[in-house]
Amino acid sequence: MCLFKVYLKDENSKRKLIAEDIALSSKENNRIKIRNSNLEEETWDNVEIIMIDALNSILLIKKLDERAT
């Protein structure tokens, strides 16, 4: 099974690990939902996907600028 990690990119271009052992991810509008290998689900609002790196099993996201919405 190929599982991935989710990192949140901050304003200083640093990455913070926020989830691992993720088996499923879905996106609807500005919401990302993930499910780990234990079928536990987590949702983040007001975020966008920056990069999906299948080779290194990474999903990189960042918060949207709320002032722009």
- Residues 3-62 pLDDT 10s: 999 999 988 889 999 999 999 999 998 899 999 999 999 999 999 999 999 999 999 999
Is 37 within the bounds of a domain? yes
Q: Domain range for residue 31?
A: 4-63
Is 51 within the bounds of a domain? yes
Is 69 within the bounds of a domain? no
Number of domains forming the structure of the chain: 1
Return the bridge partners of 43, or none: 33
pTM for this model (two decimals): 0.85
Alpha-carbon distance of 3 to 53, in angstroms, equals 12
Is 31 within the bounds of a domain? yes
Is 68 within the bounds of a domain? no
Is 39 within the bounds of a domain? yes
Contact 66, 46 (CB under 8 A): yes
Query: 25 — alpha (psi -120 to 50), left (phi > 0) or beta?
Result: beta
Return the bridge partners of 5, or none: 58
What is the structure's pLDDT at 66? 61
